[in-house]
Structure 1
């Protein structure tokens, strides 16, 4: 009994709850990767000067700010509707870039990353095989998390291209793996 108490105190001292040993490996790994993705996204967003946030090199393209808001709205929709089961429409109006400063845009997207992480932390791993649909696709909750991560990478890469078109070297990805 004494050894058990000492072990528990040791785990608490390290900031590890005893239940962590029972957590789902996929969710654990996803959350680690998600945090690194969030950090890299914010670094990329910080690299672009605010005066270039609303420029696009071609008329049909999204601006840097619009790329950011697109990521934010899809995090909200994929995480809370498709992964979390909220079953709502995409909230485009809540994620308009116009009228927002660079700092406001970064804060909004950062908040969406954090909200999604909190949702994933609280999910029951037994629900990962449940499905939801959109368009012509039916996916498991696990697959929706993977799609969400892919979507962030896709648009962050477009943001990196916009940085390069401004002759700005993007943050080194190797630091965020």
Structure 2
């Protein structure tokens, strides 16, 4: 009887610890996305207005299109994990959005706010729940990890645009 009681207490402790880890993971994701939003804002601020139309080569995205592409993904991924509609509907900010500095910054900031609202609207259990995404089964946490990777990739590409325009990119923000 004593062993059974000890086993039940241990099982309860493990389950409680696992739940706490899930919540910590979700809380960290929110912090990471808040940091990413502030960091990408510095990139957008650094480029002068005339640089928003700049393309390093004709077949590449413009500086504005890089960030509108990030916004499209942010809206789409966050809509998927939250079960809500993207504010863009089926439209693409990259393809149809206004590409001025102010409009690009607004669209991108709105997309980060949408991501943050989606994450904050999830419970830890829901965050770890598997969903179908691009015909693959993965947790909402993995989906948003892929989205985070995507925005970091394109933000990194924009460093080249800044350098080619003679603008020093913002210092890295790991924390």
Paired residues of 2:69 and 2:94 also in contact (CA < 8 A): yes
For the residues of structure 2 that align with 1:56 and 1:22, how far apart are their CA atoms?
A: 43
Corresponding residue SS for 2:92: helix
Contact 1:45 1:106 in 2 (8 A): yes
- Return the offset for 1:29: 0.6
Shift, 1:108, TM fit: 1.2
Gapped regions of structure 1 (runs ≥ 5)? 1-20
User: Which has the higher mean CA deviation after the structures are superposed, 158-167 or 62-71?
Assistant: 158-167
C-alpha distance in 2, partners of 1:27/1:148? Answer: 14
TM-score scaled by structure 2?
0.78
Change (3 A) 1:121 1:163: same
Partner SS, residue 133 of structure 1: strand
Report the counterpart of residue 73 of structure 1 in structure 2.
Answer: 72
CA RMSD, Structure 1 to Structure 2 (Å): 2.4
Q: Does 1:125 align with 2:124?
A: yes
List aligned pairs for 1:28-177, cutoff 5 A: 28-81=27-80, 83-86=81-84, 91-96=90-95, 99-174=98-173, 177=175
Deviation string 1:130-170 (CA, Å, 9 cap, x unpaired) is 22334453221010111111111001001111111112110
Counterpart Cα distance in 1 of 2:125 and 2:43:
35
Change (3 A) 1:99 1:37: closer
CA shift for structure 1 position 55: 1.6
Q: Partners in 1 of 2:85 and 2:114 — Cα distance?
A: 17
Which one has a bigger Cα radius of gyration? 2
Q: Secondary structure of the residue that 1:147 maps to in structure 2?
A: helix
Aligned residues between the structures: 155
Which deviations, in whole Å up to 9, do the C-alpha atoms of 1:84-103 show, x marking residues without a partner?
23488973434546544211
Q: Secondary structure at the match of 2:168?
A: coil
Structure 2: state its 5+ residue gaps.
Answer: 1-19
